[in-house]
Amino acid sequence: MKEFEKNIRRVEPYVPGEQPQTKVIKLNTNENPYPPAPGVLCAMKEMETQMDSLRLYPDPTSDSLVSALADYYQVGKDQVFVGVGSDDVLAMCFLTFFNSEKPIFFPDITYSFYKVWADLYRIPYECKPVDENFRIRKEDYYGENGGVIFPNPNAPTSIYENLEFVEDILQHNQDVIVIVDEAYIDFAGESAMALLDKYENLIITQTFSKARSMAGMRIGYAIASPLLIKYLNDAKYSFNSYTMNKTSLVYGVEAVKDKVYFEEVVDKIVATRDWAAGQFAELGFVFPKPSGNFLFVSHPDYDAGELFCALKEAGIYVRYWNQERIRDYMRVTVGTRKEMEELFAFLRKYMNK
């Protein structure tokens, strides 16, 4: 090691799903298989006539998008924070709120970026094991800690916990910040938004990457009490006032406005997911009840790693982690009905069914 390397901050980075540049059936990164709302396309065409505006900085307050989200969720503008994808928003939350010497708590099987941020910001943490059915045990979060974060539905398991479960964790953690990461909530059940008025320490994060079909625009947001949003903005303005670019702001507003299209797309994905669950079951796969836009599947007679490689060879990309407890599972994003039919056609052929 060179002398100057001794003082370089080193972390083990997050490894995203593959982004193949050739045409494949891409079921590995939980993207939405359908295009954004029609209003987004209209806004893109309108932006072409306003190219000169791109020489100017965007609105540092992101007021148009903040206002649209506040109206949609019927909260105050001072309760909304936006960022470059929910990853940016969550990273800002880690930096801002997890500064205790006590460890933060999150599940051992969950979004792997949590460990990366904790290591990056030198935040102590404890991973609480999910049970044998991959469910979070709420009692594990009762102990003294420096904060709590968990996704609902969880990833990669796609398991959703009801509002009573979420509130139980909040009731036992009223002196620390509790973050509920709701990246997949639109495909599941009731959001924790209903608890915001009762718990000033609650932060809910969501994203445009899944249900709103805008992973490429990188838009995420947090909704919380005005006090917590103020702290987030103070941290943001301490190093970068212009996190959201002009096009993301314009397109994001249009995506929020079209509630009918949003609900149609969500319904279509949920219907395909539930149909796919039946197909997987017929082929002998086992999996937790899915509540996201993906399924977490395993087969007792087939090695998941080998099946993952065979699918990839056939141009069908799914997600696989060769890690303890989950190496027998693959995560399969819900694509279009046609894409899923091609997936099952391959599986039947592979399994001689």
The burial class, CB within 10 Å (0-12 / 13-18 / 19+), for 144 is: exposed
Say which residues have a Cβ less than 8 Å from residue 125's Cβ, sequence separation at least 6. Answer: 103, 104, 105, 106, 114, 115, 118
Between the alpha carbon of residue 297 and those of residues 19, 24, 28, 112, 323, the distances in Å are: 21, 21, 13, 19, 15
First to last CA, the chain: 55
State yes or no: pLDDT of 70 exceeds 90: yes
State yes or no: pLDDT of 353 exceeds 80: no
- Mean pLDDT computed over 87-115: 96
CA distance 214 to 202: 26
- Which pLDDT tens digit goes with each residue over 141-192? 999 999 999 999 999 999 999 999 999 999 999 999 999 999 999 999 999 9
- The answer to whether the peptide bond before residue 153 is cis (omega within 30 degrees of 0) is yes
CA distance 95 to 321: 28
Whether 40 contacts 251, CB under 8 Å: yes
- Residue 249: CA atoms inside 13 Å, Cβ hemisphere, count? 18
Q: Which residue has the higher pLDDT, 262 or 15?
A: 262
**What's the angle, vertex CA 337, arms to CA 331 and CA 343, rounded to 5?**
50
Whether 71 contacts 79, CB under 8 Å: no
- Mean pLDDT computed over 69-76: 98
State yes or no: pLDDT of 11 exceeds 90: no
- At residue 242, the pLDDT reads 87
CA distance 155 to 29: 11
- At residue 325, the pLDDT reads 93
CA distance 344 to 38: 31
Closest-CA residue to 333 (of 206, 210, 189):
210
Task: Give the least confident one: 12-16, 169-173, 177-181, 193-197.
Answer: 12-16
- At residue 9, the pLDDT reads 81
CA distance 74 to 77: 9
Q: What would the two tokens of residue 227 be? A: 């006090």
- Residue 224: CA atoms inside 13 Å, Cβ hemisphere, count? 28
Whether 317 contacts 311, CB under 8 Å: yes
Say which residues have a Cβ less than 8 Å from residue 161's Cβ, sequence separation at least 6. Answer: 135, 136, 152
Q: What would the two tokens of residue 203 be? A: 């932060």
**pLDDT > 70 in the chain, percent:** 100
Q: What would the two tokens of residue 239 be? A: 């190093």
Q: Does the pTM of the predicted model rise above 0.85?
A: yes
Whether 329 contacts 297, CB under 8 Å: yes
- Which pLDDT tens digit goes with each residue over 272-331? 999 999 999 999 999 999 999 999 999 999 999 999 999 999 999 999 999 999 999 999
- At residue 5, the pLDDT reads 80
State yes or no: pLDDT of 344 exceeds 90: yes
State yes or no: pLDDT of 7 exceeds 90: no
Q: How far is CA 3 from the centre of its chain?
A: 39
Long-range contacts of 205-209 (CB under 8 A, 24+ apart): 205/86, 205/89, 205/90, 205/93, 205/179, 205/180, 205/181, 206/86, 206/182, 207/85, 207/86, 207/183, 208/252, 208/255, 209/30, 209/31, 209/32, 209/85, 209/86, 209/183
- Mean pLDDT computed over 243-251: 94
